[in-house]
Structure 1
Amino acid sequence: MLKKSLSFFFLNLFCLGFQVDSVYSQPDQKCNWALNSVAEQIYQSGASVSIIQAHDANNDHVGNPSHRQTRVMIILGKLIYPMEDVVISKEYDSSSNEVVESILNSVQLQQEWANYLVKNCRDLAVVAFGQAYTDWINEYAINTNGLAKARECIDSNSEFNNSLPWGYQFCL
């Protein structure tokens, strides 16, 4: 029990060492803590992770049931080229595609992380999980109940004039 408590303490202390730009204009330590926590869990599983934030959750979708505007993209796998708006980046020396694929295939784990982030980040509307340099993206969007729900796939040939209904995403 003591070993488990010490591990949790050191993991939390380790997470505090990573400063994150706020997910919205005013600093929110609760959100920063949550983002760091998810990044650390992914990193500890053996995958590189980068978290990107943007204030564009409503740009390609209509019907957001909240006032929230931020989208967070959690990219699994190493980024070769620098990207804008990266708020957390943790590179694992020998990141495994098997670990990345395992995480992306775990709807339950992604749902848990998305809800955790939405509950702790007051402006967060969309949490997306994707594999670096692929089209594999799973999106979770805020719903009327304040929790995130996986967006349903729509064929990319559908005609929506670049504005999808809130609960949907184009999938390949």
Structure 2
Amino acid sequence: MASATTFYDFKPKDKKGDQYSLADLKGKVVLVVNTASKCGFTPQFAGLEKLYQDLKTKYPNDFYILGFPCNQFGNQDPGTNDEIQNFCQVNYGVTFPVLGKVDVNGDNADPLFEWMKTEKPGLMGLKRVKWNFEKFLIGRDGKVKARWASTSKPEGLKADIEKELAAK
């Protein structure tokens, strides 16, 4: 999708394989996370859910988290979309949308991730996603505002997200 200019131009697949229109989130602040069920960072689901609940309470219609399962790093999310959904809900009480499994790097990388990596390269200008639970913050204007490594805990992102939520 070379013509895409904002986050809202994309339609990744949901857990059932149907298009999930990001245009429905226009004007919202969105945290995008590539997730995995069997990773050392998997406990971040708890922190993400707490962050989601805290910010949804304060900004009920303005903040979303989207999880994108990925099996590209150490085969750490081998399950089906249904198995992944069940795991997230049963083990971490996840209520934010977890979409369909994607590749975030390589020839089959989801176009959304290709766009986000180009918009906000990582350390030393490297575009590739380095591991599970890398995070991208999308502002109300549909542009990538920040990118965090897997080691960045969800609770440490709250101030930056609130700053973006305060921007009108």
TM-score (norm 2): 0.30
Larger Rg: 1 or 2?
A: 1
Which structure shows the higher strand fraction? 1
| Structure possessing the higher relative contact order (Cα contacts under 8 Å, 6 or more residues apart) | 2
